[in-house]
């Protein structure tokens, strides 16, 4: 299982790293557009006047044996759910992964939507279907806020559970690349409105896809570390049991020899 998780982790990490630069760049572009003083507006960049409907999406694993990966995500998800319920009248909980579904169901928390199709190889087409649903809900007024709980991947040695607000996209204006206060000038062809209408939804889809990729690679890293520790513990246990067995065997042999010697001495007398 350690070898399998290592192979899967490398493939998942390659996909996450490959998508990282594009995600940062397109989010930075949206951030520049929101601060460039343009007259063009987009519904996804504007927060609703009142936040009465929210969705909390929790990304967990379909399988266990990955250490504290699921536990950290679920703890943060529980806390975020309580915070949202204390401020937002209508909170819809959606969970990806069998482990998360089982945990919320055990605590008798209602789950509005369950996803089990996202494994260690999430595709953009699968995530895009989910993203289009959120975009439609937000623009139609059925959704005022979208929060996601997932494990963020930064490097091989650093992954941690985070809570991020993906909608409205106005919160993304501070992310991405920074230019030391220099305002970026853009020329739009054919028009600024057409470019913004294309870039803004794409940035949300890419950001959501990156969350799924980070969760996938973090899960494989956690499983690889857990299986490596299990292998080392098994080897240590085998060593300890071998020593105990050899001592018991040697003690039995010594006892049998003493009985033979004692019997021989008794016969000689």
The arithmetic mean of pLDDT across residues 70-99, rounded, is 95
Measured CA to CA, the distance from residue 76 to residue 64 in angstroms comes to 18
Stated pTM of the model? 0.79
Residue 29 has pLDDT above 80, yes or no: no
Judge whether residue 144 has pLDDT over 50. Answer: yes
Over residues 147-162, the mean pLDDT reads 92
Q: How far is CA 35 from CA 28, 101, 186, 203, in A?
A: 11, 40, 12, 16
Question: Is the predicted pLDDT of residue 179 greater than 70, yes or no?
Answer: no
Among 1-10, 124-133, 178-187, name the one with the lowest average pLDDT.
178-187
Of residues 231, 227, 170, 141, the one with CA closest to residue 44: 170
Q: What is the pLDDT of residue 39?
A: 59
Residue ranges of domains in the chain, CATH in brackets = 2-226 (3.40.1380.10)
Residue 37 has pLDDT above 80, yes or no: no
More confident call, 7 vs 228? 228
- Give the whole-angstrom CA distance, residue 11 versus residue 221: 11
Residue 114's pLDDT band (cuts 50, 70, 90):
very high
Q: Is the pLDDT of residue 116 over 70?
A: yes
Residues 202, 124: Cα–Cα separation, whole Å: 11
User: So what's the pLDDT on residue 78?
Assistant: 96
Least confident of 57-71, 191-205, 222-236: 191-205
Q: Which residue has the tokens 């105990």?
A: 244
- Write down how long the chain is: 269
Neighbouring residues of 162: CB distance < 8 A, sequence distance ≥ 6: 76, 149, 150, 151, 152
pLDDT band for position 181 (50/70/90)?
low
């Amino acid at each position: 299982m350690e070898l399998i998780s290592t192979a899967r982790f490398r493939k998942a990490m390659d996909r996450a790293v490959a998508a990282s630069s594009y995600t940062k760049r397109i989010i930075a572009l949206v951030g520049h557009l929101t601060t460039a003083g343009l007259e063009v507006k987009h519904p996804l960049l504007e927060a609703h006047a009142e936040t009465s409907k929210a969705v909390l999406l929790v990304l967990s694993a379909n399988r266990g044996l990955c250490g504290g990966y699921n536990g950290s995500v679920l703890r943060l998800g529980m806390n975020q759910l309580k915070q949202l319920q204390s401020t937002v009248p209508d909170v819809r909980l959606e969970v990806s992964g069998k482990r998360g579904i089982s945990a919320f169901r055990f605590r008798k928390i209602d789950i509005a939507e369950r996803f089990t199709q996202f494994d260690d190889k999430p595709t953009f087409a699968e995530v895009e279907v989910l993203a289009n649903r959120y975009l439609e809900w937000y623009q139609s007024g059925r959704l005022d806020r979208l929060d996601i709980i997932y494990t963020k991947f930064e490097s091989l040695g650093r992954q941690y559970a985070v809570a991020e607000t993906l909608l409205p996209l106005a919160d993304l204006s501070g992310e991405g690349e920074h230019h030391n206060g220099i305002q970026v000038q853009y020329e739009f062809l054919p028009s600024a409105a057409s470019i913004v209408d294309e870039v803004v939804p794409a940035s949300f889809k890419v950001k959501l896809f990156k969350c799924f990729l980070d969760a996938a690679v973090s899960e494989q890293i956690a499983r690889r570390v857990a299986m490596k520790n299990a292998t080392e513990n098994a080897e240590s246990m085998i060593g300890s049991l071998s020593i105990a067995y050899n001592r018991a065997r040697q003690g039995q042999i010594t006892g049998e020899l003493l009985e033979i010697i004692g019997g021989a001495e008794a016969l000689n007398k």
